[in-house]
A and B are shown apart, each in its own frame.
Chain A
Amino acid sequence: MARNRRLGMTIVLSWLTISIGPSISLAGEQGERALAAVNAMIAAGEVRKDATIKVAFKSGNIAALLGPALELQKEWEQRTGVMITARVIPQQPALLNLKANPDIDLTVARTHEFPDLLEQGLVEDLTPLAKQFGFTIDGRPPQGFIRPRLQGYVGDRLAAIPADGDVMLLYLRLDMLESPVEKAAFRKVHGRELAIPTTWQEYEQLIQFFHRPQQGMYGSAEQRERESAWMLWMPRYLSQGYPQRKLFDDKLMPLIDSPAGIAATESYVRTVRYSPPDILGEGKDYSYTLPLFMQGKVFSTIFTVAGAKLLNTAASPVRGKFIAVPVPGTRVGKRLVRRNLPIYGNNLVVSTKGTQRKLAFLFTMWLTDPDTSLRTVGVKGGFTDPFRWSHLNDARIKELYTADALAVFAREWDIAVLPGTGLPGDGDYLDALNQQLWLAASGKQSAAEAMRRTALEWDRITQRNGREKLLPWLKIFNAGLVNSDAAPAVAK
Chain B
Amino acid sequence: MKLPGRFGLLQQLLVGFAGAGVLVLILLFAGNRMLERSSERLVDTLERHVRPLARLHGLQARVGNLRNMELELGHLEDVFALQSQITRLRSEIGTLEREIGAFSMVLGRQSPNEAQRLAGHWRDYRSRLEQQARLAAEMDLAGVRGVTAGGSHISYLSIQALLTEVAEQTEAAADGAYLKATQEQQAQRKDFLWLVLLGGMVIFIGLAYSGQTVVRRVGILHEHAQKLAAGEESGNIVIARHDEIGDLAEAFGTMRQQVLTREAALRASQVELEQRVQERTADLKSANRRLVRFSQIVEQNPVGILIARIGGTVEFVNPAFSRITGRLPDDLIEQPLIEVMRTADPLDADNAMRVATAGGIWEIEQPSRRGDSAYWERLRLGSVHDEKGRPTHLLLSCEDITEQRTQMEKITYQAHYDLLTGLPNRVLANDRLIQAVSRARRDGGKVGAMYLDLDNFKEVNDTLGHAVGDALLRQVAQRLIAAVRGEDVVARLGGDEFLIVAGGLVHGDEAAAVAEKVIAAFTEPFILDERELTTSPSIGIAIYPDDGSEPMVLLRNADLAMYEAKDSGRNMYRFYNRSIHDLSLQRLEIGRCLRGALERQELHVVYHPLVRADSGCIIGAEALLRWNSPELGEVQPSTFIPVAEQNGLIVDLGRWVLREACATLARWRLQQDSFVMAVNVSPRQFRTSGFVAMVRDCLTEFNVPPQQLEIEITEGLLLRNQGEVRAILEELHALGVRLSMDDFGTGYSSLSYLREFPFHTVKIDRSFINDVSEDRSDRALVIAAVRMAQALGLQIIAEGVETDEQWSFLMAQDCDILQGFRFGMPVTESNFGKTWVNARVSRPESDQTARDLPFIPV
**Which residues of A pack against B, CB within 8 Å?**
58-60, 62-64, 68-69, 91, 128, 131-132, 242-244, 246, 249-251, 283, 286-287, 290-291, 294-295, 306, 310, 313-317, 379-383, 491-492
Closest to B136 in A: A315
- In the bound assembly, the distance between CA atoms of A244 and B439 in angstroms comes to 14
- In the bound assembly, the distance between CA atoms of A381 and B486 in angstroms comes to 46
Interface contact B486-A315, CB-CB below 8 Å = no
Interface contact A380-B83, CB-CB below 8 Å = yes
Sample (28) of A-B pairs whose CB atoms are under 8 Å apart: A59-B76, A59-B78, A60-B81, A62-B81, A62-B84, A63-B81, A69-B87, A132-B346, A243-B504, A244-B504, A246-B486, A249-B485, A287-B77, A290-B139, A291-B79, A291-B140, A295-B138, A310-B80, A313-B83, A313-B137, A314-B137, A315-B134, A315-B138, A380-B87, A381-B80, A381-B82, A382-B80, A382-B83
Q: Mark B420-438, 1 if CB is under 8 A from A, else 0.
A: 0000000000000000000
Interface contact B87-A68, CB-CB below 8 Å = yes
Q: Is B527 an interface residue (CB 8 A)?
A: no
| B residues 578-633 touching A (CB-CB < 8 Å) | none
A162, chain B: closest CB distance, angstroms: 18
Interface contact B346-A128, CB-CB below 8 Å = yes
Given the contacts A132-B346, A313-B137, A316-B138, A290 and B87 also touching, CB distance less than 8 Å: no
Q: Is B506 an interface residue (CB 8 A)?
A: yes
A265, chain B: closest CB distance, angstroms: 22
Interface contact B486-A249, CB-CB below 8 Å = yes
Closest to B133 in A: A315
B83, chain A: closest CB distance, angstroms: 2
Interface contact A68-B84, CB-CB below 8 Å = yes
- In the bound assembly, the distance between CA atoms of A63 and B345 in angstroms comes to 37
Closest to B141 in A: A291
Name the B residues within 8 Å of A317 (CB-CB).
138
A189, chain B: closest CB distance, angstroms: 32
Name the B residues within 8 Å of A286 (CB-CB).
79
> Of A62, A244, A294, A492, which is within 8 A of B139 by CB?
A294
Q: Is B445 an interface residue (CB 8 A)?
A: yes
Name the A residues within 8 Å of B79 (CB-CB).
60, 286-287, 290-291, 310
> Of B83, B134, B138, which is within 8 A of A381 by CB?
B83
- In the bound assembly, the distance between CA atoms of A92 and B79 in angstroms comes to 16
Q: Is B47 an interface residue (CB 8 A)?
A: no
| B residues 67-114 touching A (CB-CB < 8 Å) | 76-84, 86-88, 91
Name the A residues within 8 Å of B87 (CB-CB).
68-69, 380
A259, chain B: closest CB distance, angstroms: 15
Name the A residues within 8 Å of B372 (CB-CB).
none
Given the contacts A381-B83, A491-B345, A243 and B443 also touching, CB distance less than 8 Å: yes
Q: Is B487 an interface residue (CB 8 A)?
A: yes
Closest to A311 in B: B139
- In the bound assembly, the distance between CA atoms of A290 and B80 in angstroms comes to 10
Interface contact A131-B78, CB-CB below 8 Å = no
Name which of A310, A316, A381 has the most chain B CB atoms within 10 A of its CB: A381
Interface contact A291-B80, CB-CB below 8 Å = no
Given the contacts A294-B138, A315-B137, A63 and B83 also touching, CB distance less than 8 Å: yes
**Which residues of B pack against A, CB within 8 Å?**
76-84, 86-88, 91, 134, 137-141, 344-347, 443, 445, 485-487, 504, 506
Interface contact B486-A60, CB-CB below 8 Å = no
- In the bound assembly, the distance between CA atoms of A313 and B82 in angstroms comes to 12
Closest to B487 in A: A250
Interface contact B443-A306, CB-CB below 8 Å = no
B304, chain A: closest CB distance, angstroms: 24
Closest to B80 in A: A60
B32, chain A: closest CB distance, angstroms: 40
Which 9 pairs, one residue from A and one from B, show the smallest C-beta to C-beta distance? A381-B83, A250-B486, A315-B137, A63-B84, A60-B80, A291-B139, A249-B486, A60-B78, A383-B80
Interface contact B77-A242, CB-CB below 8 Å = no
Interface contact B346-A382, CB-CB below 8 Å = no
A94, chain B: closest CB distance, angstroms: 16
Interface contact A59-B77, CB-CB below 8 Å = yes
Q: Per DSSP, are chain A's interface residues mostly helix, strand or loop, or mixed?
A: loop
Name which of B82, B344, B504 has the most chain A CB atoms within 10 A of its CB: B82
Name the B residues within 8 Å of A132 (CB-CB).
346
Name the B residues within 8 Å of A242 (CB-CB).
506
Name the A residues within 8 Å of B443 (CB-CB).
243
- In the bound assembly, the distance between CA atoms of A249 and B344 in angstroms comes to 33
- In the bound assembly, the distance between CA atoms of A131 and B344 in angstroms comes to 11
Name the B residues within 8 Å of A491 (CB-CB).
345
Closest to B137 in A: A315
- In the bound assembly, the distance between CA atoms of A366 and B87 in angstroms comes to 25
Name the B residues within 8 Å of A91 (CB-CB).
77-78
B129, chain A: closest CB distance, angstroms: 15
- In the bound assembly, the distance between CA atoms of A243 and B443 in angstroms comes to 10
Given the contacts A250-B487, A287-B77, A295 and B139 also touching, CB distance less than 8 Å: yes
A87, chain B: closest CB distance, angstroms: 15
Name the B residues within 8 Å of A128 (CB-CB).
344-346
Name the A residues within 8 Å of B134 (CB-CB).
315
- In the bound assembly, the distance between CA atoms of A68 and B86 in angstroms comes to 10
Given known contacts A91-B77, A382-B80, what 18 new A-B pairs fall within 8 Å (CB)?
A: A58-B78, A59-B76, A59-B77, A62-B81, A64-B80, A69-B91, A128-B346, A242-B506, A243-B506, A250-B487, A286-B79, A291-B140, A294-B138, A294-B139, A381-B83, A381-B84, A381-B86, A492-B347
B508, chain A: closest CB distance, angstroms: 15
Name the B residues within 8 Å of A381 (CB-CB).
80, 82-84, 86
B348, chain A: closest CB distance, angstroms: 9
Closest to B482 in A: A251
- In the bound assembly, the distance between CA atoms of A243 and B87 in angstroms comes to 47
Interface contact A382-B84, CB-CB below 8 Å = yes
A45, chain B: closest CB distance, angstroms: 13
- In the bound assembly, the distance between CA atoms of A62 and B140 in angstroms comes to 22
Name which of B80, B88, B140 has the most chain A CB atoms within 10 A of its CB: B80
Name the A residues within 8 Å of B81 (CB-CB).
59-60, 62-63
Name the A residues within 8 Å of B91 (CB-CB).
69
Name the B residues within 8 Å of A379 (CB-CB).
83-84
B192, chain A: closest CB distance, angstroms: 44
Name the B residues within 8 Å of A316 (CB-CB).
137-138
- In the bound assembly, the distance between CA atoms of A64 and B82 in angstroms comes to 11
Name the A residues within 8 Å of B82 (CB-CB).
381
Closest to A335 in B: B506
- In the bound assembly, the distance between CA atoms of A381 and B87 in angstroms comes to 10
- In the bound assembly, the distance between CA atoms of A69 and B87 in angstroms comes to 9
Name the B residues within 8 Å of A294 (CB-CB).
138-139
- In the bound assembly, the distance between CA atoms of A70 and B213 in angstroms comes to 73
Interface contact A295-B140, CB-CB below 8 Å = yes
Name the B residues within 8 Å of A131 (CB-CB).
345
Name the A residues within 8 Å of B347 (CB-CB).
492
Closest to A288 in B: B79
Name the B residues within 8 Å of A382 (CB-CB).
80, 83-84
- In the bound assembly, the distance between CA atoms of A315 and B144 in angstroms comes to 15
Name the A residues within 8 Å of B346 (CB-CB).
128, 132
A452, chain B: closest CB distance, angstroms: 20
Closest to B91 in A: A69
Name the B residues within 8 Å of A306 (CB-CB).
80
B326, chain A: closest CB distance, angstroms: 19
B478, chain A: closest CB distance, angstroms: 12
Closest to B135 in A: A315
Name the A residues within 8 Å of B345 (CB-CB).
128, 131, 491
Name the A residues within 8 Å of B141 (CB-CB).
291
Name the B residues within 8 Å of A315 (CB-CB).
134, 137-138
Closest to A21 in B: B347
Name the B residues within 8 Å of A291 (CB-CB).
79, 139-141
Name the B residues within 8 Å of A290 (CB-CB).
79, 139
A243, chain B: closest CB distance, angstroms: 7
- In the bound assembly, the distance between CA atoms of A69 and B89 in angstroms comes to 12
Closest to B87 in A: A68
Name the B residues within 8 Å of A60 (CB-CB).
78-81
- In the bound assembly, the distance between CA atoms of A291 and B485 in angstroms comes to 47
B521, chain A: closest CB distance, angstroms: 15
